[in-house]
Chain A
Amino acid sequence: MSGTGADDTILAVDHLSIASMAGTTVLDAVSLQVRRGEVLALIGASGSGKTTLALAALGHLRPGLVTTGGSVRLDGTDMLKAPQAVLNRMRGQTASYIAQSAAAAFNPRIRLGDQVIESALLHRSQTPDQARARARELFSYISLPTPDRIGTRFPYQVSGGQLQRFMIAMGMQEEPLLLVCDEPTSALDVTTQVEVMRLLKQVIADNQTAALFVSHDLAVVAQIATRIAVMRAGRIVEIGETRQIIESPREDYTRELIAACQHLSLGALAQKPPRAAQGAAKALTVAGLTAGYGKVAGGVPQIPTLHGVDLQVGKGEIVAVIGESGSGKTTLARVIAGLHAPALGTVTLNGEMLAGLDAQRTAAQRRRVQLAVQMADTALNPKHRLRRILGRVLFFFHGLKGAAAEARMRELLAMVSLPAHYLDRYPTEISGGEKQRVNLARALAAEPEILICDEITSALDTIVAGQIVALVKRLRDELGLTIIFISHDLATVASIADRVTVLRHGRVVEAGESAAVLSAPTDPYTRLLVASVPELRQGWLEDAAAMRAALATQLEASRPDAA
């Protein structure tokens, strides 16, 4: 950026330190500046303090946090000392906030339009008529359908991507100097993410708005930021121009982040040695599976989520099922695990037909198919120690008790690279990545033949997710497990799967060797998915948006519900 005069500085954070009331340091003497029209990205793992820093820019500390030193000046005002009335006037008007999950950040009981214009009316910066006109203008600018009327909808009446657009409109309503974006795209599907990112970039450029952009995803940040600040444990490890950070990082931690990003990129496919061709032995065969919700009439449920899905998994293979939210991947996992009764079709395990529901399967059949779910947080009982969590499975399936069970539990923890003394811990006392390891250990305790991993990495940071993926791969190699790996994240899939099945609206659109499918996809939807995986390369966003536009008509024609 040229002409960086002192007057240009919109946000100046000076040696800011924030600690929890219990005394833990959250931010440690952090300093940074954001100039007019500049996008500064804060990148780091969860717990690095990036959200705390972003909120401090708006003069907001979450309950339980206190400032222990330093200052935050927004457009000349000291945000940490300003009276509440001044803060209220500046929020929305001088700086606005774009929250991570639009689904949670919109009040479910107030019309979207009213929420968008609320600040402007409170600040009296616009008359009600002006505010509504401005909102309609924004709705049309960010390509929401029927911009004149969509504001009367409630949050539950629009899609996730549309909600995130409303969030952007709300942030831009009063044309603030600074947008504080907290992971604005990480709750979205990849293809939606491209669209929302392109829009954010355009909004920022068109209005000469400055932005503080919080993300854990370096590839996303690379597309939009002028400068990047890498955060770790409450400190800024490295700060610099985007190109410099990506091409010539100075710090080891930055290099680690970039490596994790590249490890999980489609580029990894090229280096992947093809696995020795498997014999004809199929461990699991799913044939003509139709399932859904509501009354079943003539083999079709009222609200179908799967339409005649076929899936074959060979012994010792990792087969990935990919698709966006609503594509039916989780329903497929639940049907295979016996948690959801299919309307039509069969699930065969080693030639043995499995009953539709868990309760009708034998204990041995249940033992052989295990499911590891996405949210390890909610899947592990917080009131049980790991000993009880693992011990229960061992006793239930194998009748193990006492010393034998203890020995096996230690073995299981070693398998997922956790120390044996963790047996006495509660799930609340270990990190997110460790919880996911315990979740896997619990599934392994049953000694399954088929392990279904349903989005097990999507709640984790890039580096931790990489470690979990490596663990899953190692488990397959060591134990000869057959793994069904469900994910919306193509990069992860590319690094692990032997074969890939792509689901869209409950139908298989493409299936085959993962290298072939992901490097040369034939179906337009698969091509869109592949093109939507963020890459570190600058200019990728524009390419992806162009690709999306080109494929749009083709995809619209192939929509099953349009037919």
Chain B
Amino acid sequence: MAHFIAWRLLATLLLLFIVSLLVFWACEILPGDVAQVALGQYATPENVKALRIEMGLNQPPLQRYLQWLVGAVQGDWGRSLVTKSPVSGLLSERVANTALLAGITTLIAVPLAIALGVVMAMWNGRALDRGASIVILALSATPEFLLATLLVLLFAVNLGWLPAVAYLSTGSGLGQTARALLLPTASLVVVVTAQIARMTRAILGNILTQAYIEMAILKGVPGRRVVARHALRNAVGPIANVVALNTAYLVSGIVVVETIFAYPGLARLMIDSVQSRDLPVVQACAMIFCATYVLLILLADVMARVFDPRSLPQRPMDAI
């Protein structure tokens, strides 16, 4: 197991290196020029040129890439071209916000979704399963911005119970933070739960048709125990992967929800930075997103292996 994790971590590093090259290259070919954007439409070519030199944009790309890479490895992501402050400072606040939202959503959505999926798989084809399937299919097909907008309309505008924006100010109390997070969390929980529940039902439904499940039933094992003891442990691998993908999505893909609630998260930071051609920030965000995906998938694969006896260290035959 340790061997497996070490190998995968090594592969992850290699992957991140390749991604860093791609990200840097993508930023290079991005149309537009940060100096031009910063100085506005009416800047003279001389001013733009001076600013480019000041920003170091006149150096060859390879040199800039190496400087950036060496800095990034040491935790120094450079300075924002727009605010002139260190990128790492800018990031730390956003990372914390995103981790908070993604963390709470995951904690609520994953157990809820798996429980739903299990219940639907057990009641396969019956009214409960069919009803839940339709609702969940509808919810997973609903765009999250629509859902979020409807929630805001209902709870913030019409009822006035909750704030419409979820701006987190430092020093705000726990209650206030909770109120601010309630609506964005709710919309994300709905979307993510629908996805994971559907997949769980499909994965488990497939396992429940296996011969060893029928054998367990014919041994007199009660239904709930058949699912809990015989089916679920065979479903851990695929379910862990679905959960990992959805969690990674919560970190990097929820820009629409962040925008609607004016939530200061990472995804929005990245989009804003792309618009203002603030490439150091874009690069840092891209690397964080990629690392999140890779590490979560690694975690899922480790989970899958823990539950697979074939990956246990090969014991000498018959030793206990």
Residues of A within 8 A of B (CB): 55, 58, 60, 62-63, 84-85, 87-93, 96-97, 99, 101, 104-111, 118-119, 122-123, 146, 149-150, 152-154, 156-157, 170
The answer to whether B318 touches A107 (Cβ under 8 A) is no
Query: CB < 8 Å: which of A104, A149, A154 contacts B318?
Result: A149
CB distance from A170 to the nearest CB of B (A): 7
Nearest first, the 3 A-B pairs at minimum CB distance are A91-B220, A104-B211, A97-B218
Closest to B217 in A: A60
Give A91 to B222 CA distance when docked, in angstroms: 11
Closest to B308 in A: A109
Give A99 to B218 CA distance when docked, in angstroms: 10
The answer to whether B220 touches A149 (Cβ under 8 A) is no
CB distance from B222 to the nearest CB of A (A): 6
Closest to A146 in B: B318
Tell me which residues across on chain A come within 8 A of B230, comparing CB atoms.
Answer: 107, 110
Most chain A Cβ neighbours within 10 Å, of B215, B218, B234, B319: B218
Closest to B232 in A: A109
- In the complex, which residues 123-141 of chain B have their Cβ closer than 8 Å to any Cβ of chain A? 125
Closest to B231 in A: A107
Sample 11 A-B pairs with CB under 8 A, ordered by A number.
A60-B218, A96-B218, A97-B215, A104-B210, A105-B215, A106-B215, A108-B234, A109-B233, A109-B307, A111-B309, A149-B319
Judge whether B216 is part of the interface by a CB distance below 8 angstroms: yes
The answer to whether A107 touches B218 (Cβ under 8 A) is no
Q: A108-B234, A110-B230, A146-B318 are in contact. Are A154 and B310 (CB under 8 A)?
A: yes
The answer to whether A107 touches B220 (Cβ under 8 A) is no
Most chain B Cβ neighbours within 10 Å, of A63, A92, A109: A109
Judge whether B219 is part of the interface by a CB distance below 8 angstroms: yes
Query: CB < 8 Å: which of A85, A101, A146, A150 contacts B211?
Result: A101
Give A87 to B222 CA distance when docked, in angstroms: 10
Q: A91-B219, A96-B219, A107-B216 are in contact. Are A156 and B234 (CB under 8 A)?
A: no
Judge whether B212 is part of the interface by a CB distance below 8 angstroms: yes
The answer to whether B219 touches A107 (Cβ under 8 A) is no
Tell me which residues across on chain A come within 8 A of B221, comparing CB atoms.
Answer: 88, 118-119, 122
Q: A104-B210, A149-B318 are in contact. Are A88 and B220 (CB under 8 A)?
A: yes
Give A457 to B309 CA distance when docked, in angstroms: 35
Q: A107-B234, A111-B309 are in contact. List 19 more A-B contacts (CB 8 A).
A: A60-B214, A84-B222, A85-B222, A91-B220, A92-B218, A97-B219, A105-B214, A106-B212, A109-B309, A118-B219, A119-B219, A119-B221, A122-B222, A149-B320, A152-B318, A153-B318, A154-B309, A154-B310, A156-B310
Most chain A Cβ neighbours within 10 Å, of B212, B220, B318: B220
The answer to whether B220 touches A123 (Cβ under 8 A) is yes
Tell me which residues across on chain B come within 8 A of A58, comparing CB atoms.
Answer: 218
Give A416 to B309 CA distance when docked, in angstroms: 47
The answer to whether A150 touches B318 (Cβ under 8 A) is yes
Tell me which residues across on chain A come within 8 A of B308, comparing CB atoms.
Answer: 109
Tell me which residues across on chain B come within 8 A of A90, comparing CB atoms.
Answer: 220
Most chain A Cβ neighbours within 10 Å, of B125, B225, B317: B317
Bin the interface of chain B by size.
20 to 34
Closest to A99 in B: B215
CB distance from B205 to the nearest CB of A (A): 11
- In the complex, which residues 161-219 of chain B have their Cβ closer than 8 Å to any Cβ of chain A? 210-212, 214-219
Give A146 to B222 CA distance when docked, in angstroms: 32
CB distance from B9 to the nearest CB of A (A): 26
The answer to whether A122 touches B320 (Cβ under 8 A) is no
Give A153 to B310 CA distance when docked, in angstroms: 11
- In the complex, which residues 56-98 of chain B have their Cβ closer than 8 Å to any Cβ of chain A? none
The answer to whether B309 touches A156 (Cβ under 8 A) is yes
Give A306 to B233 CA distance when docked, in angstroms: 38
Give A111 to B315 CA distance when docked, in angstroms: 14
Give A382 to B234 CA distance when docked, in angstroms: 28
Tell me which residues across on chain B come within 8 A of A96, comparing CB atoms.
Answer: 218-219
The answer to whether B220 touches A89 (Cβ under 8 A) is yes
Give A392 to B271 CA distance when docked, in angstroms: 51
Give A46 to B210 CA distance when docked, in angstroms: 19
CB distance from B139 to the nearest CB of A (A): 27
The answer to whether B222 touches A107 (Cβ under 8 A) is no
Give A146 to B230 CA distance when docked, in angstroms: 26
Tell me which residues across on chain A come within 8 A of B317, comparing CB atoms.
Answer: 157
The answer to whether B212 touches A91 (Cβ under 8 A) is no
Most chain A Cβ neighbours within 10 Å, of B125, B211, B317, B320: B211
Closest to B307 in A: A109
Query: CB < 8 Å: which of B219, B222, B229, B309 contacts A170?
Result: B219
CB distance from A365 to the nearest CB of B (A): 40
Give A151 to B225 CA distance when docked, in angstroms: 21
Tell me which residues across on chain B come within 8 A of A99, comparing CB atoms.
Answer: 211, 214-215, 218
Closest to A58 in B: B218
The answer to whether B220 touches A92 (Cβ under 8 A) is yes
Give A91 to B310 CA distance when docked, in angstroms: 30
- In the complex, which residues 294-320 of chain B have their Cβ closer than 8 Å to any Cβ of chain A? 307-310, 317-320
CB distance from A309 to the nearest CB of B (A): 30
CB distance from B1 to the nearest CB of A (A): 16
Tell me which residues across on chain A come within 8 A of B234, comparing CB atoms.
Answer: 107-109
Closest to A59 in B: B218
CB distance from A428 to the nearest CB of B (A): 18
Give A111 to B125 CA distance when docked, in angstroms: 32
